[in-house]
Structure 1
């Protein structure tokens, strides 16, 4: 959940909604809050694992859980690539003569090299980057408020126009909401820290606060940006990612440098974290024979990292050379929305069907009505995705189904788990440790 992503997708959503980006964020925020409630309920039931895969596997059926996890794998694979794409779009605007393909190649090589060498936690660095990004965004809002009071943009700081006006309708707002859901992807990662919390009772609150605070940041930023830029004309040809243009127009070259810098470091931090996560997930899948163990389940004796997995993710990053942000975000949202829908469904299956907790209006409301509404709403967003993303997602799901048939031998046995946070031999909290048979033993 990178704060500056609101500016990366602003041009796309503003065009889709006819200048009502904040309304799409309101829709997405409501749906994400309802889904966060479902995550909060399930994390107390399964505190040791926090993925949609686990919730569906344990509450509904292992095979359905596999398919949900397989869809999530698409997100994992594409998240590092989308950060490479965002960086490419920045460079294209700042240095138009620099080859776009070379930007992506340099990023992919450097990121792959860093992760291949070490997969240590960067949480402290990410916190510093988060604070820096928020400071830049606060400065942005202050500057925009000053410009609005001086008559620029909408010429006011209080208006309903960013939410509704002539030409705004529900259909485009829902389409926009599918794009801005991209901003919220990652909130469920809070569940991975359940075992480190002083009490599991705090986790539902933590998940809700993550979504709520992130959503408020996105909402405030999009509101003032929409007031300052009622349409996309000032961005010219750069509507795919107008962050550099927004920084230049609002604060000039100096502020643009800080603004783009905040977006750049946030993209790099997000890219490295997601790169390491998917490499680890592929290793878990390899160790558990969900994927071929000889290929995906090995780590290097020298670097103590799963080199093949890391390089594979780096190769996927090269797709950023030609793809556009709207399409890639739709690909990612395909799997994310399926996972969110599945978690809401898991609440109904676990509490209402298996535990029979439907006595009284309160239990019916919390165990059926709330997750049911959230499930329907996420399902509606899923239908609003880009047509190409739906086609690609269905193809990906079909591949997963065929692979499920193979590894379960025609459903005669259950598929193994593959949570990204699932313990595997040779791991500790800080790094991937050596487990190769040639090594003397694990290192700390």
Structure 2
């Protein structure tokens, strides 16, 4: 069963944007608002501004690297090509924490909403149904997946606009719109950092667009545009909506379940009908996000399988009719079922470790590739390829320091397992891990 069929180019800018938006899920802002409001003591918009800075500089680093290496694999590919295959493998292995656990986050969020709405239904059933939907959608062609996701992304944007309208209506035209959600006497830098670690999760996902490079027309232009557009758009949406929410309800402890404050706010500002519609769209958004997350996971596994760093016959196989790495899709679905035994907090912790590892090495890759290897050191190059990634590393360093100890422990254990496998694969580092040789002359 050889992997003699490569990924097919089928995606344009709007396809990539649709997948990116569905992966990052615009309604995710509502999922984490209650937790973030408590952590920041009522300064969620300010924490969002900090998170945007932390993420945007890293987005620029991904933009630089995807132009040089327009192929599946994302951070795994960049570290492999810039440093060496051993480091690339470890980065890819760590990134699996990000990619493998992201579908779980969406399934667990669906369970959170549906269990509160239907308390009589066993909560584990929502996890199983969600993951089965993710897997079923990804078995088909990537264009079918895009069409499925695009419809629901539109609904998410509409519900977000409606939510903002009801918030503004509730505030009233005569309300003094203060800057307290951004700054007050109770604001502390430690609270902003604590909130940023949580809110960074709502931006993470832009990097997964790089895994679509080999299925995208003109990826050196299309992927960077998509990453920047969606990051800036969501930054504006998240900051605006949480500003109005925080202004109207500065203390989420007044709600029955502060962690799920958004659904209670929806009922207060729009009534039971709007609240029902809100929950339905939010749940659907998480299902769509899970579909996109599993798609990206299957592409990272494909990149590693094609390199034969994990068994090629299984992970490097692409179905000849659908063009999908079908075994990777099924494996991702099976692995995601472990969400039945995990809490949302634990899954987020594991996810953040993988994401921050990938972000760190992509920024390092930019510095080493352009500044040292290519010796691009004119003023513009210093700004783009040295100062910008260094700033990104500083922001990410702050997020690392404030990461939950459980996340660091689980992540280190995961990487130790990866290192042991790498030692076995390379016969005690006596040989290089297998690599896929990309023909750089092939047109994007």
* Interval of TM-score (by shorter of Structure 1 and Structure 2): 0.7 to 0.9
Structure 2: stretches of 5+ with no match in the other structure: 1-23, 440-444
Q: What residue number does 1:220 align with?
A: 240
Give per-residue Cα distances to partners, 1:352-409, cap 9 Å, x unaligned: 11111124x3332222111111112112212211111111011111111111111122
| In 1, Cα distance between equivalents of 2:69 and 2:388 | 20
- Contact persistence 2:86–2:432 (CA under 8 A): yes
| In 1, Cα distance between equivalents of 2:141 and 2:227 | 29
| In 2, Cα distance between equivalents of 1:206 and 1:278 | 19
| Of 320-329 and 133-142, the range deviating more from structure 2 | 320-329
Q: Are residues 1:274 and 2:274 paired?
A: no
Q: What residue number does 1:181 align with?
A: 200
Alignment equivalent of 2:425, drawn from 407, 410, 415:
407
| In 2, Cα distance between equivalents of 1:85 and 1:374 | 30
RMSD value over aligned CA atoms? Answer: 2.8
Q: Are residues 1:10 and 2:33 paired?
A: yes
Q: What residue number does 2:274 align with?
A: 255
Secondary structure of residue in 2 paired with 1:410: coil
Secondary structure of residue in 2 paired with 1:122: helix
- Contact persistence 2:211–2:299 (CA under 8 A): no
| Of 196-205 and 340-349, the range deviating more from structure 2 | 196-205
Q: What residue number does 2:93 align with?
A: 70
Q: Are residues 1:144 and 2:167 paired?
A: yes
Structure 1: stretches of 5+ with no match in the other structure: 424-444
Secondary structure of residue in 1 paired with 2:258: coil
| In 2, Cα distance between equivalents of 1:145 and 1:270 | 28
| Closer, same or farther: CA 134–304 of 1 in aligned 2, 3 Å | closer
Q: Are residues 1:338 and 2:338 paired?
A: no
| Closer, same or farther: CA 56–117 of 1 in aligned 2, 3 Å | closer
| Closer, same or farther: CA 140–171 of 1 in aligned 2, 3 Å | same
- Contact persistence 1:35–1:340 (CA under 8 A): yes
| In 1, Cα distance between equivalents of 2:203 and 2:264 | 23
| Closer, same or farther: CA 353–301 of 1 in aligned 2, 3 Å | closer
Please list, as runs of the form range in 1=range in 2, the aligned pairs for 1:264-413 lying within 5 A after superposition: 264-293=283-312, 296=315, 309-359=328-378, 361-413=379-431
Q: What residue number does 2:227 align with?
A: 207
Q: Structure 1 residue 243: deviation in Å?
A: 3.5
| Closer, same or farther: CA 277–27 of 1 in aligned 2, 3 Å | same
| Of 107-116 and 126-135, the range deviating more from structure 2 | 107-116
Q: Are residues 1:95 and 2:109 paired?
A: no
| In 1, Cα distance between equivalents of 2:189 and 2:279 | 32
Give per-residue Cα distances to partners, 1:67-114, cap 9 Å, x unaligned: 111111111111111111011001121112222122223333444455
- Contact persistence 1:23–1:164 (CA under 8 A): yes
Give per-residue Cα distances to partners, 1:11-43, cap 9 Å, x unaligned: 111111111111111111011111111112222
